[in-house]
Chain A
């Protein structure tokens, strides 16, 4: 039986407001950031359209299809345009 991955997740900008927290450690079976985002979107009411959201894994921007590993630090970053 597959074990869940332990992930450290950070939320930026509007996602932080929606989640009501800056970061959390969770256990997840999500294989990719996209799957993880969809799970979290259901939980926190994130926008379902994830095309403009970027993800950083262990301090490096990656595609939403990258394979997640236990222990990863995952940061979801929506674009902001304020100036």
Chain B
């Protein structure tokens, strides 16, 4: 194939190292990598892979750029707020390196499209933000025999590994069971140090480049943990699970499954709502809108407004006369609530409060409702001065 003079100049710092050299750079140019997610992990990952000269990058994301993304998603900018993330990312990548090909997928990865999209790439890098998609990425990669460069973050802690079922364990060998819905907060709920995905995504990029050039020791069968608060890395050995349902000896999963059902989405929250709708009168729906809440409060209804966010979130913004009991403390503080009161529960955007609503229903509370959209919707509709986060 041969490198052009421009390429030789651009990649000279690679070319003068024997581990990369012209041969390695040509491998990079011939390689194709699919980045799933153009968010916190995907930002540094896609930028560094582009800078390194990976010839074909696929970028998959269905979201648009939001102001609150910029704290960590450095591939986007103030000038691309509101744009599709894949388009924003593509623009930035091509500004950095117009010599490579970028394919965008403005869609959600699903069991219906995953195999078709992934099959065209050499390597997949998982920068998603939810369990269902992580199992979907894993299973697709195992079925197609593709390496899956994994990274995951929580607050100040990150994990990196390379799952390649041909050579070692897969994601299911590490986590055979998804956590019950609601156990693990997302970045939006739990927060994340903006720099952390920068570190972890960059480590994923390094692993990807190593796989392409075939040098060094990939993180196969090893999981790297990094706690940036203590700046303490730790490596743990991970063996292939002989009973793994997708990469083990007697694999039972031969094709993609319904990952949302597998991860319990729709079983806990929406599922219960559906059952309620079918079995009970329609006035017993579990959600009310911010408009309905405002009307109730203005009409003097004695509604208890229960805020299930964390204390530090309450300090940022709160709705007047709300009672704060963080979701995690709710089971131990039930005696502070009265089963017969009309209770409206809110959180930031409605996820945690729905879990709290279902929980209180199960505990025998008769009149509890989830505030759809949470305090964020309240601020948007009724309180323009309230800080939104």
27 contacts between A and B (CB under 8 A): A12-B157, A12-B225, A13-B154, A13-B184, A14-B184, A14-B190, A18-B328, A22-B227, A45-B328, A56-B236, A59-B236, A59-B237, A60-B238, A60-B239, A61-B174, A61-B236, A61-B237, A77-B225, A79-B131, A80-B154, A80-B157, A81-B131, A81-B186, A82-B152, A83-B128, A83-B151, A83-B152
A-B contact count (CB 8 A): 95
Q: Are B183 and A81 in contact (CB under 8 A)?
A: no
Residue in A47, A59, A75, A77 whose CB lies within 8 Å of B183 = A47
Residues 178-217 of B, flagged 1 when their CB comes within 8 A of A and 0 if not, give 1110011111001010000100000000000000000000
Q: Any chain B CB within 8 A of the CB of A51?
A: yes
Set B178, B197, B223: member contacting A61, Cβ < 8 A: B223
B152, A78: Cβ atoms closer than 8 Å: no
State whether A82 touches B154 (Cβ < 8 A). Answer: yes
**Are B179 and A79 in contact, with the CB atoms below 8 A?**
yes
Which of B42, B155, B179, B225 contacts A83, CB < 8 Å?
Answer: B42
Inter-subunit contact A82/B153 (CB<8 Å)? yes
Q: Could you tell me if B159 and A80 are in contact, using CB atoms closer than 8 angstroms?
A: yes
Beyond A13-B155, A52-B177, A52-B180, whether A83 also contacts B237 by CB under 8 A is no
Please provide the chain B residues from 84 to 139 with a CB less than 8 Å away from any CB of chain A in the complex.
126-131, 134
A67: min CB distance to chain B, Å: 17
Asked if A75 contacts B175 (CB within 8 A), the reply is no
Which residues of chain A from 14 to 31 have a CB within 8 Å of any chain B CB? 14, 18, 22
Q: Is the CB of A78 within 8 A of B225?
A: no
Partner of B180, one of A45, A47, A56, A60: A47
From A45, A59, A80, A83, contact of B40 by CB (8 A): A83
Any B CB within 8 A of the CB of A49: yes
The chain B residue with its CB closest to the CB of A57 is B236
Given A14-B185, A61-B238, answer yes or no on A81-B180 (Cβ-Cβ < 8 Å).
no
Contact residues in B for A47 (Cβ distance below 8 Å): 179-180, 183
Mark each residue of chain A from 49 to 73: 1 if its CB lies under 8 Å from any CB of chain B, else 0: 1011010100111000000000000
Further contacts, 4 of them, CB under 8 A, given A52-B175, A75-B236, A80-B157 = A51-B177, A59-B236, A61-B239, A83-B153
9 tightest Cβ-Cβ pairs between the two chains A and B: A80-B154, A52-B179, A83-B129, A82-B187, A60-B237, A82-B153, A51-B177, A56-B236, A83-B41
Complex CA distance for A80 and B225, rounded to whole angstroms: 12
> Which partner residue on chain A sits nearest B332 by CB separation?
A45
Which chain A residues border B134 with CB–CB below 8 Å? Answer: 81
CA distance A81 to B150 in the complex (A): 10
A12 to B238 Cα, complex, angstroms: 17
Tell which of B126, B128, B129, B237 has the most Cβ of chain A within 10 Å: B237
**A47-B183, A82-B129, A82-B192 given as contacts; is B174 within 8 A of A54 (CB)?**
yes
Which B residues are in CB contact (< 8 Å) with A59?
A: 234-237
Cβ B175 vs Cβ A83 within 8 A = no
Contacts of A83 in B (CB 8 A): 37, 39-42, 126-129, 151-153, 187, 197
Q: Which residue of A lies closest to B42 (CB)?
A: A83
A52 touches B183 (CB 8 A): yes
Greatest chain A CB density within 10 A among B130, B179, B180, B332 is at: B179
The distance in angstroms between the C-alpha atoms of A81 and B200, with both chains bound, is: 13
Identify B236's interface contact among A18, A51, A60, CB under 8 A. Answer: A60
| A residues less than 8 Å from B179 (CB atoms) | 47, 52, 78-79
Chain A: which residue is nearest B134 at the CB level?
A: A81
A54 to B155, CA, bound (A): 19
A residues in contact with B185, CB < 8 Å: 14
Return chain A residues, CB-CB under 8 Å to B223: 61
* Least CB distance, A11 to chain B, in whole angstroms: 11
Q: How far is the CB of B263 from chain A (nearest CB, A)?
A: 9
- A81 to B40 CA separation, bound complex (whole angstroms): 12
Given the known inter-chain contacts A13-B155, A54-B174, A59-B234, please indicate yes or no for A81 contacting B184, CB distance below 8 A: yes
B residues less than 8 Å from A54 (CB atoms): 174-175
- Whether B340 sits at the interface, judged by CB under 8 Å, is no
A82 vs B7: C-alpha distance when bound (angstroms): 36
Fill in one digit per residue for B29-69: 1 if any A CB lies within 8 Å of its CB, else 0.
00000000101111000000000000000000000000000
**A76–B128 alpha-carbon span in the complex (Å):** 23
